[in-house]
Amino acid sequence: METLLFDRYIILLLKAVLFLAKHKDEQKYFKVKEIAERLDVSKSYMARIIQSLVHHKILESSTGPTGGFYLPKSNLKLTLHDVIQHTGYEDELKKCIMEWPDCNEEQPCPLHQNWKRFRETLILDLKKFTIEEACEQLYERIV
């Protein structure tokens, strides 16, 4: 089931980053299989997410039998927006909440202004919270 704001891909993208942030002090590289199992998602889907995060320089990888993926400590200061900006989520948030065609400032739906304020606040919060701050707020809820 998808949430109203983010699809499953974005949710798992954030969970993967927060999972690695939580385990940053373990001096360990995590395999895709382990991340997928801990987040209860298929290995192939998690591999796609991890590759995207590596491609966008959020995560780094190490090769070899003890290799895997990790979140560089310097990236703990990235914002949640930095992590997901490449997904195009902002374009999705610009769509009418009621899915009315042609909803705009001149012809708004009944929820247009409220949705606009909410969307702007959400984007500001995503740009404000760092990975480190988000991880601290989640405490033990991250596996």
Domain ranges across the chain = 8-141
- CA angle at 17 for the pair 46 and 125, rounded to the nearest 5°: 125
How far out from the chain centre does Cα 89 lie?
10
Q: Quick: pLDDT tens for 34-46.
A: 999 999 999 999 9
Is the domain spanning 8-141 CATH 1.10.10.10? The answer is yes
pTM given for the model: 0.86
**Predicted local confidence at residue 143, as pLDDT:** 58
Q: Rounded CA gap, 28 and 107, in Å?
A: 54
Q: Which residue shows structure tokens 């990790």?
A: 70
Q: Quick: pLDDT tens for 96-132.
A: 989 898 999 999 999 999 999 999 999 999 999 999 9
- For the chain, give the mean pLDDT: 90
Q: Give all strands (DSSP E) within the chain, no chain letters.
A: 60-62, 68-70
- CB under 8 Å to 53, separation ≥6 — which residues? 13, 16, 17, 59, 69, 83
**Predicted local confidence at residue 92, as pLDDT:** 85
User: Given pLDDT bands bounded at 50, 70 and 90, which one contains residue 3?
Assistant: very low
Residue 30 has pLDDT above 80, yes or no: yes
